[in-house]
Amino acid sequence: MKTLKILGIFFVSILVIVPMRCRKLKIIPSYAAKNMSSNVFFAKRPIDSINATDNNIPFVKLAKTSIDFESKIVTGSLFGMIKKKVLFREGLGSILIDNDFDTNKKFLTPKRIKNPTDLEFPYGDKEPKDSLFSNINYNKLTSAVENVFVENQKPNLKNTRSILVVYKNKIIAEKYAEGFDKNTPLAGWSMTKSLFATLFGVLNKQIGFDLNTPVTSVIDLKDWEKDKRSKITVNHLLKMISGLDWEEDYSKVSDVTQMLFLDKDMTERQIRKKASYEPGTHFLYSSGSSNLLSKILRTQFKTYQEYLDFPYTELIDKIGMNSALIETNRSSNYNASSYGWATTRDWAKLGLLYLHRGNWNGTQIFNESWTDYVSTPSEASNKSYGGHFKSNQCRKFPELPSDMFYADGYYGQRTFIIPSMDLVVVRTGLTTPEAEDDLINEMLSDIVTAFE
């Protein structure tokens, strides 16, 4: 009996561990292929550079990628056996595909209205004139920016790719690492959440969209209607206080890694989760909630084309983020959690839109009150998280103004808005997670002290 019990435990373990290992082995080539596809076909970066940096991270570097430039398909393989394919589609980005996917099928794309003008940054494409401010110590500012690119003793801790400092609408500092420049689109990762959430602010202004709208009133979710999930609203999702279960861990097989690198429809995984807490009482960061918001946004339009066009015609193109792309998933929903791209200057435009409380060169994109909404953190988050923006009201960075709020992305992507200083700072890179906070604190503290 004892032997049978041991064998039973062994086989149960196999049933649990093997599928988990298989999923992890599938995630690795998916990540490598997706990263390669977006960087090659959209960001136009060299293959060698991508392999040496973006895909040169634990486990992912074990995968090999091959590129078919004619079909725009990247194949990621692990040990020559486990293979995953990614297709790049102009206007929509890169999607995971399988053998059943019809690569010749026609697809809709967003209609873009890019209006280059002779105005200077940020309202046009003309290079800004040099501006000097008497209250800025430029030696300190230059030193602060340069230091962000100086590596610590341990390699690859900072890996800064760009930094841009905008004061009173004027660029006062800008620097790029080798291989990157003002025209290079860079992955925002979770800064995409902030960009996408802004669309609900636009909806709120245009049609009076109510953030207290229950999710079940716009999506048919019969299972949700039976329990506490029936009370979850759009506001709860934006503030990450829905009470829904979720595991946001990029170092292993988790909800977020399976969603991004295995799921065909990234909006569904959060829907299948139970709620462990009453809505509004518990903060839990969830990329799944962001993608559920993407599904909700789609319900606001009669046609798929209108849904595709809305982020660009009503926000992105209106503020001149001409380089920007929000990628879709295989089910044609926007990936609202992670796959937004833009140049450093265009990410700064999003920050400036919030600095000016929704007013873009005389046009009100969203109501001023929307800025207050996203920048005001919930009590459940210990005053650290607002409406898809992080907040410094929790004093995470005690040397920096408490009114600072920011778009925050994996690997140290940040767009900081500091209203009390009329300041926007954008920083991108490939920083190891354990070094992000120290880097950001030092960088911003040094920049702030340059103001006298």
Question: In this prediction, what percent of the chain has a pLDDT beyond 70?
Answer: 94
Question: How far is Cα 209 from Cα 233, in angstroms, rounded to an integer?
Answer: 12
Question: How far is Cα 34 from Cα 261, in angstroms, rounded to an integer?
Answer: 8
Residue 432 lies in a domain: yes
Count of CB atoms situated within 10 Å of the CB of 380: 19
Q: For residue range 323-339, what is the model confidence (pLDDT) as tens digits?
A: 999 999 998 999 999 99
Among the listed ranges 77-81, 229-233, 407-411, which one has the minimum average pLDDT value? Answer: 77-81
- Residues sharing a CB contact under 8 Å with residue 149, sequence separation 6 or more, in sequence order: 158, 160, 163, 175, 177
Residue 67 lies in a domain: yes
Number of compact structural domains in the chain:
2
Residue 293 lies in a domain: no
Domain that holds residue 319: 175-209+300-449
Residue 403 contacts residue 386 (beta carbons within 8 Å): no
User: Residues 58, 182: one domain?
Assistant: no
Question: How far is Cα 239 from Cα 234, in angstroms, rounded to an integer?
Answer: 9
User: Residues 87, 194: one domain?
Assistant: no
Identify which of 335, 313, 150, 369 has the alpha carbon closest to the alpha carbon of residue 261: 335
Residue 188 lies in a domain: yes
User: Residues 435, 320: one domain?
Assistant: yes
Residue 245 lies in a domain: no
Residue 180 lies in a domain: yes
Question: How far is Cα 269 from Cα 166, in angstroms, rounded to an integer?
Answer: 39
Q: For residue range 351-402, what is the model confidence (pLDDT) as tens digits?
A: 999 999 999 999 999 999 999 999 999 999 999 999 999 999 999 999 999 9
Question: If you count them, how many residues does the chain have?
Answer: 452
Q: Give SS3 for 325.
A: strand
User: Residues 180, 327: one domain?
Assistant: yes
Q: In what order do the strands lie in the sheet with 340-342?
A: 186-187, 340-342, 325-326
Output Rg (C-alpha) for the chain, integer angstroms. 22
Count of CB atoms situated within 10 Å of the CB of 161: 25
Among the listed ranges 21-30, 56-65, 94-103, which one has the minimum average pLDDT value? Answer: 21-30
Element spanning 24, H or E: helix 2-37
pLDDT at 18 over 50: no
**Domain end position, chosen among 61, 78, 97:** 97
- Tokens 């048919």 correspond to 220
User: Residues 47, 194: one domain?
Assistant: no
User: Residues 82, 192: one domain?
Assistant: no
The whole-number average pLDDT for the span 105-128 is 90
- Chain-centre distance of CA 50, in angstroms? 19
**Domain end position, chosen among 97, 127, 155:** 97
Identify which of 313, 312, 315, 321 has the alpha carbon closest to the alpha carbon of residue 116: 321
| CATH code, 410 | 3.40.710.10
The whole-number average pLDDT for the span 163-185 is 97
User: Residues 69, 193: one domain?
Assistant: no
Element spanning 366, H or E: none
pLDDT at 19 over 80: no
Q: For residue range 250-294, what is the model confidence (pLDDT) as tens digits?
A: 989 999 999 999 999 999 999 999 999 999 999 999 999 999 999
**Domain end position, chosen among 53, 69, 97:** 97
Residue 270 lies in a domain: no
Question: How far is Cα 359 from Cα 366, in angstroms, rounded to an integer?
Answer: 7
User: Residues 65, 205: one domain?
Assistant: no
Residue 110 lies in a domain: no
DSSP secondary structure letters along 151-205? --SSTTS--EEEEEEEETTEEEEEEE-TT--TT--EE-TTHHHHHHHHHHHHHHH
pLDDT at 193 over 60: yes
Amino acid (1-letter code) at residue 362: G
What is the predicted pLDDT for the residue at 4? 37
User: Residues 80, 202: one domain?
Assistant: no
What is the predicted pLDDT for the residue at 21? 54
Identify which of 374, 326, 319 has the alpha carbon closest to the alpha carbon of residue 349: 319
User: Residues 52, 196: one domain?
Assistant: no
Nearest 10 degrees: Cα torsion 40, 43, 49, 50: -60
